[in-house]
Structure 1
Amino acid sequence: MGDSTDGSSTAAQSAQSDDQNDSRSKGGFFRRVIGALSPSDMGENAPGDLQSANGNPSGHVPLDITSLRRMRVEDVAIPKADIVSVSDAISKDDLVALFRETGLSRLPVYTGTLDTPIGMLHLKDFALRHGFNGNGGAAFDLKKMLRPLLYVPPSMPIGVLLQKMQTERRHMALVIDEYGGVDGLVTIEDLIEQIIGEIEDEHDTDEADYWLKEKEGQYLAQAKSPLDEFEAEIGLSLTDTDEVDEEEIDTLGGLVFMLSGRVPARGEVVKHPAGPEFTVVDADPRRIKRLRVRLPDQKAG
């Protein structure tokens, strides 16, 4: 028994030590990232510090540090039209259904409209009170489970927001426009992706699956989806128009770039002469990443 206790104690101390080391490692990473993105110069070694913290000896960073310093919240925020949020009057069953449908773990909560946000609901808080299926015996009171939200202007540098999120331990912020209304939403994942590249999770489309059919007449597609394959999927030619030279493009992203004449921003809608609409779901200043494709009414209806 004594040996078992000593062994358990040693294992616990080892686990605690590992947690502390992980915490120090993450803290060091964030400090280097925030320093590299801060408006004040750190000197010539700043980019090297970031690359070292990223564990990337090759020195590859998706965007150079100078560009990152210039980026603002509005450059990475999810547009208002794409925000998934809930009213404070939602029922427990509808809330469970929304968590299941979206796969999200955090939802902004509002009163009346999204321009009157009152906080954020975390799936973990709901599950602790009611279980993941909502079958818990506790009385449903949404407001008792709310966490505070960050509210930030669109002009805030992303390095400042990252530091604010780390300090206040918040993973989500609402972007507020000059009139006090909600303009967009940004998560800590959006900020980190600007530094270390895209973070794939279980809700992103598979690398092998170029698109996902969300409903009849609507697709969520990667910008690198082969154009000819997508045309075969929807049964519609997207290159049979004077505005598109099929010899110059091979992907959906290339098609949208050619139609708009530039890299469109997140939330921007690009219309095709044949009827389909392309909404930019994810993009950075250099390239389009994901698109939502809505087919003409006669197809979608």
Structure 2
Amino acid sequence: MTETTLWLAGSAVIFLLFLSGFFSGSETALTAASKARIHQVEKTGDRRAAIVSRLIASRERLIGALLLGNNLVNILASALATTVFLTLFGEAGVALATLVMTALVLVFAEVLPKTWAISNPERFALAVSPLVRIVVGVFGPVVVGVEAIVRVLLRLVGVNVGADTSILSAYDELRGAVDLQHIEGGLEKGERDRLGGLLDLAELEVSDVMVHRTNMVALNADEDLHKLVEQALSSPHTRLPLWRGETDNFVGVLHAKDLLRALHAAGGDTDKIDILNIATPPWFVPDTTSLQDQLNAFLKHKVHFALVVDEYGEVMGLVTLEDILEEIVGEIADEHDVELEGVRPQADGSVIVDGSVPIRDLNRASDWHLPDDEATTIAGLVIHEARMIPEERQIFTFHGFRFTVLRREKNRITRLRIMPLTQTAGLKTNIPGATPTVPKNAAG
């Protein structure tokens, strides 16, 4: 091999290492680039962003083309380097070429370009997208064949990879990103809760957030109007359901503002007012309606109040626009709201909770993760896990917490003490399931 040939081979090795770095950096940038940011840049009219979006949409083919190009240039560079070193150093050239090429590929073709790309993946992806599009176009037919071979081989070992296989839904990806940002300090707890609440609307039903009928404030339409006015004024609520004959026969919804208008128009004479004429017809919605659909329905119909019915048409409770918004922004209180003492933290780290407190509200307030799939309230969770209606002073251990039943009224658990096991000294935490015990001094 002549001196000129050696120089040409060495220059080719350097050029091939540059190409290898280009492929490695492009792969890192295009797989790490945020789809949302690229979409925003695309909306400004940047053609390169449109190219990046199309490349990311065919991620499997993109990665296959870049890996194919990377392997080609790496193998060719190694072969040329081996030839050069054999000419210069004889048989020892193989070992030297292996050491030198390993170092060069590691530093200049892998670590350096990937570190550069990951530092600002969107900008790097925009810069390389025109060239990568050409590479994908050239290697595309080969990659298609490779994909087919890979799918067949995976199917032989029981792994079925479909063309449209997606491990995470868009909601799951967003929720994971929100949780990760909170862990890394990018989002405060309140911001995480609000974003998480917004993402949960599609998974929750109105039965999860409704006011149960046992807690509803309703008015008897047959009562004297003076009493109705007193009850409406003493209530913290603006909209009140009306019933007639039987407590589950709802005939309308009274708005306090409409009542005041009617009183003003009648000169304060209640005998001139028919309560049903100023009430609006009740709106009944199924208990299985998702919060997202119900929110859209509230906005569409410009109504803030609906009665919730089960599959038999029986009224289970009521849901308001405020109830849904509170799932997003947390508890909304004004000067007319009555603060309910449902959660009372104790000095020993435990929390005394009313049985009617929703699990989601308790999780949000205490940053806990109690499951709310099978029950809505904390009392319902204890009954579900215990598979029984507990007696007072019984203790149950599950989901990393110790639950002590403090008060029971008939078949309802009205008060519990909840203690995280991490704060319980001397308590065995390896009790499987919901194992009840009755200690001597469990009541508190």
TM-score using structure 2 length:
0.38
Q: Output the CA distance in 1 between the equivalents of 2:287 and 2:211.
A: 11
User: Cα offset for 1:78?
Assistant: 0.6
Deviations along 1:13-70, one digit per CA (max 9) or x if unpaired, are xxxxxxxxxxxxxxxxxxxxxxxxxxx979978999xxxxxxxx97534335443321
Instruction: Tell me the equivalent position of 1:77.
Output: 210
1:89 corresponds, among 215, 222, 237, to: 222
Name the structure where strand makes up a greater proportion of residues. 1
Contact between 1:47 and 1:65, CA under 8 Å: does it hold in 2?
no
Aligned to 1:119: 252
Match status 1:221 vs 2:341: yes
AA aligned to 1:221 is E
CA contact (8 A) 1:105 1:122 kept: yes
1:123-153 deviations in Å (ceiling 9; x for gaps): 1111111149x93466121111111222111
TM-score using structure 1 length: 0.54
Query: Unaligned 5+ residue runs, structure 2?
Result: 1-168, 178-186, 358-369, 381-389, 394-405, 416-444
CA contact (8 A) 2:226 2:270 kept: no
Partner of 2:38: none
**Which structure: larger Rg?**
2
Who is 2:314 aligned against?
Answer: 181
1:105 lines up with 2:238 in the alignment: yes
- How far off is 1:120 after superposition? 0.5
Written as runs of structure 1 = structure 2, the 5 A alignment for 1:51-66 is 59-62=191-194, 63-66=196-199
1:152 and 2:285 aligned = yes
Q: CA deviation at 1:159?
A: 0.8
- Cα distance in structure 1, aligned partners of 2:245 and 2:318: 18
- CA drift of 1:204 comes to 3.3
- 1:120 alignment partner AA: V
Q: CA deviation digits over 1:79-138, x for unaligned, max 9?
A: 110111112202111112212322221111122223221110111111111149x93466
CA 1:74–1:43: 2 relative to 1, 3 Å: closer
Contact 1:81/1:267 (<8 A) preserved: no
**Residue identity opposite 1:253 in structure 2:** V
Is the 1:79–1:267 Cα contact (8 Å) retained in structure 2?
A: no
- In the aligned structure 1, how far is the partner of 2:307 from the partner of 2:212? 10
Secondary structure of the residue aligned to 2:242 is strand
| Structure-2 change in CA distance of 1:65 and 1:75 (3 Å) | same
The letter for the 1-side match of 2:263 is H
Q: Do structure 1's residue 253 and structure 2's residue 353 form an aligned pair?
A: yes
Partner letter of residue 295 of structure 2? Answer: L
Select the residue among 262, 265, 270 that pairs with 2:376: 265
Structure 1's unaligned 5+ residue stretches are: 1-39, 49-56, 207-219, 229-246, 281-301
1:265 is matched by which residue type in structure 2?
A: T
Is the alpha carbon distance of 1:44 and 1:82 closer, same or farther for their aligned partners in structure 2, counting shifts above 3 Å?
same
Number of matched residues? 197
Contact 2:236 2:337 in 1 (8 A): no
2:300 to 157, 161, 167: 167
CA contact 2:213–2:318 (8 Å) conserved in 1: yes
CA 1:163/1:272 → structure 2, altered by over 3 Å: closer, same or farther?
same
CA contact (8 A) 1:85 1:110 kept: yes
Q: Secondary structure at the match of 1:202?
A: coil
Partner of 2:331: 198
User: Identity over the aligned pairs, expressed in percent?
Assistant: 27
Q: Structure 1's 80 and 181: CA in aligned 2 closer, same or farther, altered over 3 A? A: same
Contact 1:82-1:267 within 8 A present in 2 as well: no
Distance 1:89 1:70 in 2: 40
Structure 1 residues 45, 136: closer, same or farther in 2, change over 3 A? farther
CA 1:204–1:126: 2 relative to 1, 3 Å: closer
Structure 2: which amino acid aligns with 1:180?
A: G
Shift of 1:268: 5.0
CA distance in 1, matches of 2:251, 2:282: 8
Q: Pairwise CA RMSD of aligned residues?
A: 3.9
Read off the aligned partner of 2:258 and give its amino acid letter. D
**d(CA) in 2 for partners of 1:70, 1:271:** 33
CA change 1:256–1:167 in 2 (3 A) is closer
